[in-house]
Amino acid sequence: MPALDLVANVVVSGILTGLVYGLMALGLSVIFGVVRVVNFAHGEMMTIAMYAATALFIALKLDPFVAMLPIAAAFFVFGYALQTALINPFITRPEHSQFMLLVAVAIILVNAMLMIFGPDARNVQVDYQLESYELGPLLLDKGRLLAAAAAVIAAAGLFAFFRYTLTGKAIRACADNYLGARVVGLNVKHLYALTFGLGAVCVAIAGCAMVLLVDVTPPLGPAYTLLAFVIVIVGGLGSMGGALLGGVLIGVSEALAGLFIAPSAKSMFSFGLLILVLLLRPQGLLGRRA
């Protein structure tokens, strides 16, 4: 039986990583919750953000936390344009058309990354990457802690935006009642594009934070898309709080599975959790019943 401080350290590490996972999945959840389109290129977009952070670090020695701002801005524009130019025409089409469209986008993104960056792993090496804080028996990896803090701040900002701003409320109105929103004169297409842009911002911030934790390679994209799906299904598709909760649960369960069973059983455990949720609470832990 592992010692308590070992379990505590592994759990804390799982929570911190899970928060970054949660932010990534939050983007997917927000897009689906409003636009009702499942972004199958989500992980690939995050991988692009990770590459952008490494490129800015190599070229300008820009810390990934500073690089978050320009990358998030660029991703907002990218997300807005993608929704306006490509996805909006598919909004009223059958779901399989939307699925094929976004899978095609994902494949194009992976191959473009392979052509531009090659298949080798890349990372950033910031000064504080090897530092850790000691808190009683806990040893907190500084990079992981900062990444989790960035995820929490970004998520809180998004919550506040949807709750307190007029645009945020308008977007929620679109999500609640598409026809009603159009009747009262809201520019739904613009609000959809805005939502996709915000989802892309979540992905960009998560990518910049994640690059401190793992090396980036193009094949990482599909793996993260799958992970984001697992998280939002566990947390509840369309629920913002559910995405964060799902991220933390997956992060912790993977860490504990690695500790108690075998490191190679990590993914097996998160998919086991997914099946359990689908059986017992199909709408997800914080999702609303349809």
Partner 1 sequence: MQRRQFNTALAAASAAAAISPFNIVRAQAQKLKVGVILPRSGYLGFIGQSCQKGADLAPEVIKEMLGVDIELMNADFESNVDTARTRAERLIQEGANVLVGPFDSGAAAAIAQVAEQRGVPLVINIAAAPQITEQGYKFVFRNFQTAGDIVRNGLDLIGELFQATSTVPRTAVYMHVNDTFGQAMTKGINAMLPSRTQLPFKIVEQIGYDPAAKDLTVEVSKAKAANADFLLLVCRLNDAIILRREMVKQRWQPMGIISPGSPGMYEEQYFKTLGKLSEHSISNVPWYNPKAKLTQVVEKAFKKHNPKDNLVFHGLNAGFTFEAILIAADAFKRAKSTDPKTLADAIRQTNISEKMTLGAPIKFNAKGQVEGIGSACVQNLNLLPTVVLPQEAATAKPVFPVPGYKKT
Using the rule CB under 8 A, give the single segment among 152-160, 210-218, 232-240, 277-285 that binds partner 1: 210-218
Nearer to partner 1, 89 or 133 (CB): 133
Which residues have a Cβ under 8 Å from the Cβ of 135 and sit 6 or more positions away?
A: none
Q: How far is CA 202 from the centre of its chain?
A: 6
Interatomic CA distance for residues 250 and 261, integer angstroms: 15
Using the rule CB under 8 A, give the single segment among 18-26, 129-137, 196-204, 276-284 that binds partner 1: 129-137
Q: Is 81 in the site for partner 1 (CB under 8 A)?
A: no
Taking residues 1 to 30 in sequence order and writing x for each that binds partner 1 by CB under 8 A, - otherwise, the string is -xx--x--xx--x---x-------------
**What amino acid occupies position 90?**
F
Write the burial class of residue 142 (CB in 10 Å: 0-12 exposed, 13-18 middle, 19+ buried): middle
Q: Is 53 in the site for partner 1 (CB under 8 A)?
A: no
Binding residue (CB under 8 A) for partner 1 from 92, 164, 179, 264: 264
Contact by Cβ (8 Å): 151, 19: yes
**What amino acid occupies position 133?**
Y
Nearer to partner 1, 130 or 160 (CB): 130
Binding residue (CB under 8 A) for partner 1 from 130, 153, 160, 278: 130
CA angle 236, 242, 248 (to 5 degrees): 120
CB of 14 to partner 1, least distance (A): 8
Binding residue (CB under 8 A) for partner 1 from 132, 152, 161, 173: 132
